[in-house]
């Protein structure tokens, strides 16, 4: 019995058993490595990536400057400066819109708080920069991200539902509904 144990110690029996298992695994399985920059892993449909401001199909901005996204953001990433449309005191718009993406939690609460669906979460995740000041985005940059991520844009609400255009007195250039 002692000779058998001495022989196992001499030929490193435990290491050979482990190497046998490793070789079986190595020869049986194929690698699953992706060539990352060229082949990207598909993301789930509910992935929350970079935020974007959206537009209507006539290239007007959806944001009405209500500041609800700013109020809903738990990390205070968003800053909105709203103003009134000249000549129409009942209409507002976002004069300035800023996001500090270095502090964003990507929670999506700002998207859920928006009453006009002016914000969207994109599938973009490649935002490595050398200077973190490049991640402080303004309104034009956020609109460009929205144009790139959401190429199909919806119609304005007035054009989606003719009854809204008929009863809405603030839009004078929209034709009335035909009966």
Instruction: Say if residue 73 carries a ligand binding annotation.
Output: yes
Core vs surface per residue 9-38: b (16+ CB within 10 A) or e: eeeeeeeeeeeeeeeeeeeeeeeeeeeeee
- Per-residue pLDDT of 119-150, as tens digits, reads 999 999 888 899 999 999 999 999 999 999 99
Nearest C-alpha neighbor of 99 from the set 76, 120, 74: 76
Instruction: Say if residue 69 carries a ligand binding annotation.
Output: yes
* The pair of three-digit structure tokens given for residue 49, joined into one six-digit string: 């990536």
Instruction: Say if residue 110 carries a ligand binding annotation.
Output: yes
Which pLDDT score, from 0 to 100, does residue 170 have? 56
Q: Are the C-beta atoms of residues 164 and 157 closer than 8 Å to each other?
A: yes
Instruction: Say if residue 107 carries a ligand binding annotation.
Output: yes
Which pLDDT score, from 0 to 100, does residue 39 have? 84
pTM score, whole prediction: 0.71
68-74 average pLDDT score: 95
């Amino acid at each position: 019995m002692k000779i058998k144990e001495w022989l196992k110690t001499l030929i490193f029996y435990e290491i050979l058993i482990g190497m046998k298992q490793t070789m079986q695994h190595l020869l049986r399985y194929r690698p699953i490595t992706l060539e990352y920059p060229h082949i990207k892993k598909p993301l789930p449909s509910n992935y929350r990536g970079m935020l974007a401001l959206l537009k209507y199909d006539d290239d007007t901005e959806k944001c009405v400057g209500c500041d609800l996204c700013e109020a809903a953001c738990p990390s205070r990433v968003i800053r909105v400066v709203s103003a009134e449309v000249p000549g129409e005191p009942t209409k507002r718009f976002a004069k300035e819109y800023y996001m500090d993406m270095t502090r964003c939690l990507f929670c999506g609460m700002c998207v859920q708080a928006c009453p006009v669906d002016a914000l969207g979460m994109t599938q973009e995740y490649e935002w490595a920069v050398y200077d973190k000041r490049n991640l402080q985005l303004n309104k034009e940059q956020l609109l460009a991200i929205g144009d790139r991520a959401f190429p199909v844009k919806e119609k304005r609400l007035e054009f989606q539902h003719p009854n809204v255009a008929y009863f809405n007195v603030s839009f004078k250039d929209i034709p009335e509904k035909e009966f």
